[in-house]
A = this chain, B = another copy of it.
Amino acid sequence: MFDVLIDRSAAEPAYRQLYRRISDAVLDGTLAEGMRLPSARALASQLGLARGTVEVAYAQLASEGYIQGRGAAGTFVAAVDVSPAPSAPGVAPVASWVPWAARPVTAAGLPMPFQMGLPALDAFPRKLWSRLAARQAHALSPLSLVNLDPAGIAPLRQAIARYLAVARGIAVAPEQVIVTAGFQGALGLVTRLLEVAGRPVWVEEPGYFLGHAGLAAAGARIVPVPVDGDGLDVAAGSALAPDARLALVSPSHQSPLGMALSLPRRLQLLDWAAARDGWIVEDDYDSEFRYVGRPLPALKSLDRAGRVLYVGTFSKTLFPALRLGYLVAPPHLTPRAVDLTGLLGPLPAADAQATVAAFLAEGHFGRHVRRMRQLYAVRRAALAAELAKYFATDRILLGAGGMQILLRLDDGADDLAAVAACREAGLAPSPLSRAYAGPAKRQGLLLSFTNLAPEQAPATVQRLARALSMALRP
């Protein structure tokens, strides 16, 4: 009856596989309300897992309401509740759809086509990177074993400040640059610095899932503010929550819809912040990739009043496992931001910082970004051309930049069902509906083109079209 297969060679940890299999079984009724589950000990022995592994899976299932412990009587399948998951005792809930739990790989061990948030893995200069990393390791001096500044190593902060001046039109002192553990580390630092817990914050609707979920996890009250063709609707935000603590925006390339925040809206947003003592968090996540027209300078470059906290990341330009990003704070917030990162993290490892610093300072970064921009332009065009063979062109939204194409579905369609069907077909698009903090107004699929070689595009899009025609048949 209780036949759970755990794939030990999979990248997904065993406890998450177990969690998913049991939660799926509860949702689809294979495990019915009131059924008794084996004890953690018995299941562990049956599956050849450590008992702790099963306990972790059970604890998560219990905390999300799938199962219920009844003391000595055992553990039972609970009545499934589709309202938001209750949390562990005494701790607040976190959005439960976490993308990293769902980063599926192909039989060859590569990410499935269309996965979001990844640079072209086949085009990363791994040999060059290894050489620089090895050189940093060999150059290790006794003093370099001791890290002196919680804000990051000086060469990296200088290199980032130079890059921001040249590429993004932002004039900052290296001392204002704080190296973080990627976007998440920067967002975590911002939530502490601005003490968002219990306060309203504006997020773009739709917007970046990890931004929404991160702010919610920090205890902020999420105020979804609609976006239109000019980006965030500042007037709507002012009407909904005039005294919001911050606005999280992606001005150069709205995530996920792709438009830029227009200049009037930029000025309106800056005015709002100055007038209402609000802060603007600029997520400039993929500004490097723009294929049409000239790149816009960062919103931060217009920030006369010192209300913009700028967040950049190397996850999209180098690689996600590097987990390095940075926060540029206005001068009067910088000392406290440095103290906070020194006291409570993130504090990235010095080795990784040194390798990135060398990559930037020696000009490799600029060359790599230019090369990727060309490669992505080709892959984007190839995917768009194939999509146009199966779908109406007004459904295919390219935007002027970014790393994905949006395929709009009918408003009445269910993009989660579409994603599930695609997954069966070995494809991993992301559902547009999950980009909404509130009820989804649009359905669609986000299709990353960064890892799709042009020669693979025809067969891959054919598979996509077939999966969708099955899933969305009325």
Task: Quickly give the copy total for this chain.
Answer: 2
Q: Which residues of B are found within 8 Å of A428, using beta-carbon distances?
A: none
Q: Complex: how many Å from CA A352 to CA B142?
A: 17
Q: Which residues of B are found within 8 Å of A349, using beta-carbon distances?
A: 181, 321-324, 348-349, 351-352
Q: Which listed residue, B109, B171, B323, touches A347 by the CB 8 Å rule?
A: B323
Q: Complex: how many Å from CA A12 to CA B126?
A: 34
Pairwise interchain contact A90-B343, C-beta atoms closer than 8 A: no
Q: Which residues of B are found within 8 Å of A14, using beta-carbon distances?
A: 175
Having A91-B333, A145-B320, one finds 6 other A-B pairs with CB under 8 Å, namely A52-B331, A56-B334, A121-B146, A130-B140, A185-B345, A217-B340
Q: Interface 1/0s, chain A 56-100, versus B by CB < 8 A?
A: 101110110000000000000000000000011111101010101
Shortest Cβ distance from A462 into chain B, in angstroms?
25
Pairwise interchain contact A53-B146, C-beta atoms closer than 8 A: no
The reply to whether the CB of A332 lies closer than 8 angstroms to some CB of chain B is: yes
15 A-B contacts, Cβ less than 8 Å apart? A52-B171, A52-B173, A56-B175, A59-B332, A88-B333, A89-B277, A100-B150, A110-B143, A119-B145, A124-B142, A130-B137, A184-B344, A187-B344, A191-B344, A349-B352
Pairwise interchain contact A111-B146, C-beta atoms closer than 8 A: yes
Q: Name the prevailing secondary structure of the A interface residues.
A: helix
Q: Interface 1/0s, chain A 322-362, versus B by CB < 8 A?
A: 11100000011111100110111111111110010000000
- Residue of B at shortest CB range from A145? B319
Q: Which residues of B are found within 8 Å of A92, using beta-carbon distances?
A: 195
- Residue of B at shortest CB range from A322? B349
Task: Give chain A's interface residues, CB within 8 Å of chain B.
Answer: 11-15, 19, 50-53, 55-56, 58-60, 62-63, 87-92, 94, 96, 98, 100, 103, 105, 109-111, 118-119, 121-122, 124, 126, 129-130, 133-134, 136-138, 140, 142-150, 154, 171-176, 180-182, 184-189, 191-195, 197, 210, 213-214, 217-219, 277, 319-324, 331-336, 339-340, 342-352, 355
- Residue of B at shortest CB range from A55? B331
Pairwise interchain contact B194-A342, C-beta atoms closer than 8 A: no
Q: Which residues of B are found within 8 Å of A109, using beta-carbon distances?
A: 143
Contacts known (A91-B193, A140-B126, A345-B181); A173 close to B103, Cβ less than 8 A: no
Shortest Cβ distance from A313 into chain B, in angstroms?
11
Q: Which listed residue, B134, B210, B336, B355, touches A343 by the CB 8 Å rule?
A: B210
Pairwise interchain contact A218-B344, C-beta atoms closer than 8 A: yes
- Residue of B at shortest CB range from A92? B195
- Residue of B at shortest CB range from A63? B332
Q: Complex: how many Å from CA A375 to CA B217?
A: 45
Contacts known (A53-B173, A145-B319); A87 close to B121, Cβ less than 8 A: no
Q: Which residues of B are found within 8 Å of A195, using beta-carbon distances?
A: 90-92, 219
- Residue of B at shortest CB range from A142? B121
Q: Complex: how many Å from CA A94 to CA B340?
A: 8
Instruction: Identify the interface centre among A55, A136, A174, A351: most chain B CB within 10 Å of its CB.
Output: A351
Contacts known (A137-B137, A138-B134); A346 close to B149, Cβ less than 8 A: no
Shortest Cβ distance from A342 into chain B, in angstroms?
6
Q: Which residues of B are found within 8 Å of A60, using beta-carbon distances?
A: 332, 334-335
> Which 9 residue pairs are nearest across A and B when measured between Cβ atoms?
A52-B173, A188-B344, A185-B345, A134-B134, A133-B137, A145-B319, A147-B321, A349-B352, A60-B335
Q: Which residues of B are found within 8 Å of A15, using beta-carbon distances?
A: 173, 175
Pairwise interchain contact B194-A91, C-beta atoms closer than 8 A: yes
Q: Which residues of B are found within 8 Å of A53, using beta-carbon distances?
A: 173, 175
Instruction: Identify the interface centre among A52, A137, A193, A352: most chain B CB within 10 Å of its CB.
Output: A137
Q: Which residues of B are found within 8 Å of A58, using beta-carbon distances?
A: 331
Q: Which residues of B are found within 8 Å of A11, using beta-carbon distances?
A: 143, 148-149
Contacts known (A56-B331, A98-B339, A148-B12); A348 close to B351, Cβ less than 8 A: no
Pairwise interchain contact B343-A213, C-beta atoms closer than 8 A: yes
Pairwise interchain contact B148-A100, C-beta atoms closer than 8 A: yes
Q: Complex: how many Å from CA A314 to CA B166?
A: 38
Contacts known (A53-B173, A137-B137); A124 close to B103, Cβ less than 8 A: no
